[in-house]
Amino acid sequence: MGWTNYHGHCDYCDGQGTIEDCIKKAIELKMDGIGISSHAPVPFPTDWTMPAYKLDNYLKEIEELKAKYADQIDVYKALEVDYIPGLASPKHEKIVAANLDYCVGSVHYIGQMNDGTHWAVDAPADEFNKGLNETFNGDIKRAACRYYELQREMLEQATPDIIGHMDKIKMHNLTFGLFDENEQWYLDEVNKTLAVIKAKGVIVEVNTKAYYRDGHLFPGPEHFAKIKELNIPITINSDAHHPDKLVNAFEEVEEMLLKAGFTHFVELVEGKWQEVAIAEA
């Protein structure tokens, strides 16, 4: 089976390598398809999202490269779009006007610090702690509940095709031991969110970006059984920020999914999401 990857970043945002670099690497890896999904602009300065003035060129370049490599690989035009109430959304008029092949919807920002800076849950450790203290008075349970609340709000009001790194709020748990991921309050938040994902027909990505670094998957394997029980469609994405990371840990995750009882991924086939059998490991 040729792999696909629908979550990856290039030098239009915080990724390394051009769009064409990513496509050429995907062809070298004999992938069936690649989606380019740079971080969409947000209405305040960051060091990782695409500047708004680059969006038109980004969309145009993908269309040109789609045509250039059409006989070698399926290339898809996408964005990873933040959900920030009143500011950014997968259904924002500029995102709708981009005529994307699909959209990855993600929650990164869940509050504002004392100086008005938006606080991201995947910020570096020192900034994460500062934001947690200033935004939620150090209460990680409140922060985690808000994270999932915003995901559910996005799913209900601005439904994306794929939900990005669904449980990324746990990212700093290995470093700080912030909360017990087996506590019932936390499992309730995850399961409530999965129920909305199911109801809205959204795809869950198994995000492998951090697997070789610290063993993290988003969502973690502990949630695979619930996802399978709900018959939620899944795909494996690497959230690649470099062309060399396009199939990061895909074989390992495929084996985990087979053991969890999954028999199919979903992939874009001729522009439509369709079930594709998971190859036997």
Does residue 281 surpass a pLDDT of 50? no
Burial 44-67 (b: 16+ CB within 10 A, else e): eebeebbeeeebeebbebbeebbe
CATH number for the region 4-277 comes to 3.20.20.140
Q: What is the pLDDT of residue 280?
A: 45
Query: 107: Cβ–Cβ under 8 A, 6 or more apart, which residues?
Result: 82, 83, 121, 147, 150, 151, 154
Q: pLDDT tens-digit profile of 73-97?
A: 999 999 999 999 999 999 999 999 9
Q: What is the pLDDT of residue 113?
A: 97
Over residues 144-150, the mean pLDDT reads 98
Q: What is the pLDDT of residue 264?
A: 96
Q: pLDDT tens-digit profile of 99-133?
A: 999 999 999 999 999 999 999 999 999 999 999 99
CB atoms within 10 A of CB 18: 15
Q: pLDDT tens-digit profile of 212-255?
A: 999 999 999 999 999 999 999 999 999 999 999 999 999 999 99
CB atoms within 10 A of CB 251: 12
Per-residue DSSP letters for 100-160?
A: -SEEEEE--EEEE-TTSPEEETTS-HHHHHHHHHHHHTT-HHHHHHHHHHHHHHHHHHS--
Q: What is the pLDDT of residue 174?
A: 87
Q: Over the chain, what is the mean pLDDT?
A: 96
Q: What is the pLDDT of residue 115?
A: 96
Query: 33: Cβ–Cβ under 8 A, 6 or more apart, which residues?
Result: 2, 4, 5, 6, 26, 73, 74, 75, 76, 267, 268
Q: What is the pLDDT of residue 279?
A: 78
The verdict on pTM exceeding 0.75 is yes
Question: What one-letter code names the amino acid at 180?
Answer: D
Q: pLDDT tens-digit profile of 166-201?
A: 999 999 998 899 999 999 999 999 999 999 999 999
Q: What is the pLDDT of residue 270?
A: 86
Q: pLDDT tens-digit profile of 28-53?
A: 999 999 999 999 999 999 999 999 99
Q: What is the pLDDT of residue 97?
A: 98
Q: What is the pLDDT of residue 1?
A: 64
